[in-house]
């Protein structure tokens, strides 16, 4: 009995020491970006291009770091913060290879001037340290590329009680590809709000990636790439939407036309989150974006016929997995939507599907 108690005491000490060490190290090295900062860019040439076209095409796609295709489930979505419950912490490497091959093929086939991507890794354990940004730059050769990190962590230690198979190091962010060279000074805008300690140590630092392009008529087109918070109670997204509202109003007050696209982690205004598949237990409830945002006259653009996101508590099964729409665009007055289309892929390559939009400059 004494030996058993002694062994239990030693085990408890090891667990406590491990948790304390992880939290202390995580707090000490936590990346805490602030304010508005310049971003990494891969320019086409020195001078910006004046956009002379009146019709422009945009695509937004959260590529799920090449690790969340149709075969994937995910331990966090299955409630596995402490243990994985048999769910995937990392997809197998050959799956990541297959997903990335499909992502690159899809991007190569898209005829569009702007591509807004989220969850693009650039050396992360979850994608086997592939240089995904470089891979995608090779696919979209001849495009200006801007990259804003929103997730930098030397070791994400979850599942907490499976230290032999944790999420690991992450370097990931937003990437905007454009066939036009933007004005100098592309920006990363840190969004407000964070999870309470210690969760905030290992969560994403959400941001906007902002680029501006001169138009032939003397105006400026502002393009915003975003990825709002997930797994929160709604308060973080409210704070982030508050920042976005004021920023968009300021841009428009300057005479700029504005396109915003990305993963909102909100359904479009008045769009039933369970339109595609019923959710009687309210297991997947999703808040909606406000109808008049940032003020009247702006337009939400999405394809109500095609889901853009699946929940990844289990591998994807058509007509069974829960799907909804959280990826779409917002355009300012002065822009008119011509059409929008979700690109149906049966979630083969990511837990999100691309959304394409064509707009006309009035």
Split at pLDDT 50, 70, 90, the class of 224 is very high
Q: Is the pLDDT of residue 158 over 90?
A: no
Return the percentage of the chain with pLDDT > 70, whole number: 99
Q: What is the pLDDT of residues 43-68, one digit of tens each?
A: 999 899 999 999 999 999 999 999 99
Q: Which CATH number fits domain 33-361: 3.40.640.10, 3.40.50.970, 3.60.10.10, 3.30.70.20?
A: 3.60.10.10
Residue 12: pLDDT band with limits 50, 70, 90: confident
Is 125 a residue whose pLDDT tops 90? yes
Count the neighbouring beta carbons within 10 Å of the beta carbon of residue 155. Answer: 16
Nearest Cα residue to 187 out of 174, 198, 196 = 174
Mean pLDDT across 119-127:
95
The dihedral of CA 157, 232, 352, 307: what is its sign? positive
Residue 330 has phi, psi (to 5 degrees) of: -130, 130
When pLDDT is cut at 50, 70 and 90, the band that residue 182 belongs to is very high
% of the chain with per-residue pLDDT over 90: 75
Q: What is the pLDDT of residue 167?
A: 93
**Contact assessment for residue 56 and residue 359, using Cβ atoms and an 8 Å cutoff:** yes
- Over residues 225-255, the pLDDT tens digits come to 999 998 888 799 999 999 999 999 999 999 9
pTM of the model: 0.95
Mean pLDDT calculated for residue range 110-122:
96
**pLDDT tens readout for residues 279-325:** 888 888 899 999 999 999 999 999 999 999 999 999 999 999 999 99
Dihedral angle sign, alpha carbons of residues 17, 87, 327, 188: positive
Question: Is residue 186 a contact partner of residue 174, using CB atoms and an 8 Å limit?
Answer: no
């Amino acid at each position: 009995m004494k030996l058993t108690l002694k062994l239990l005491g030693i085990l408890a000490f090891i667990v406590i020491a491990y948790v304390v060490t992880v939290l202390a190290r995580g707090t000490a090295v936590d990346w805490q970006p602030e304010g508005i900062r310049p971003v990494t860019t891969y320019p086409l040439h020195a001078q910006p291009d004046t956009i002379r076209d009146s019709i422009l095409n945009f695509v937004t796609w959260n590529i799920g770091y090449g690790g969340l295709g149709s075969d994937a489930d995910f331990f966090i979505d299955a409630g596995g913060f402490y243990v994985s419950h048999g769910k995937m912490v990392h997809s197998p490497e050959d799956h990541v290879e297959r997903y990335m091959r499909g992502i690159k093929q899809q991007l190569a086939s898209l005829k569009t001037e702007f591509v807004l991507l989220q969850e693009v890794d650039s050396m992360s354990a979850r994608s086997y340290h592939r240089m995904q940004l470089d891979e995608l730059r090779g696919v979209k050769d001849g495009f200006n590329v801007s990259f804003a990190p929103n997730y930098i962590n030397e070791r994400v230690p979850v599942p907490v009680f499976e230290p032999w198979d944790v999420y690991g190091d992450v370097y990931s962010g937003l990437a905007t590809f454009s066939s036009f060279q933007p004005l100098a000074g592309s920006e990363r805008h840190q969004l407000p709000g964070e999870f309470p300690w210690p969760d905030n140590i290992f969560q994403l630092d959400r941001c906007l990636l902002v680029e501006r392009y001169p138009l032939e008529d003397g105006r400026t087109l502002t393009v915003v790439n975003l990825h709002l918070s997930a797994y929160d109670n709604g308060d973080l997204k409210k704070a982030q939407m508050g920042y976005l509202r004021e920023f968009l109003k300021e841009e428009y007050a300057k005479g700029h036309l504005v396109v915003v696209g990305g993963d909102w982690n909100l359904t479009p205004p008045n769009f039933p989150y369970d339109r595609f598949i019923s959710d009687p237990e309210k297991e997947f409830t999703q808040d909606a974006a406000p109808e008049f945002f940032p003020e009247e006259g702006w337009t939400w653009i999405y394809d109500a016929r095609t889901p853009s996101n699946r929940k990844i508590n289990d591998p994807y099964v058509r007509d069974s997995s829960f799907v909804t729409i959280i990826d779409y665009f917002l355009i300012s007055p002065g822009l008119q939507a011509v059409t929008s289309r979700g690109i149906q892929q049966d979630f083969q390559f990511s837990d999100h599907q691309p959304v394409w939009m064509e707009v006309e400059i009035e």
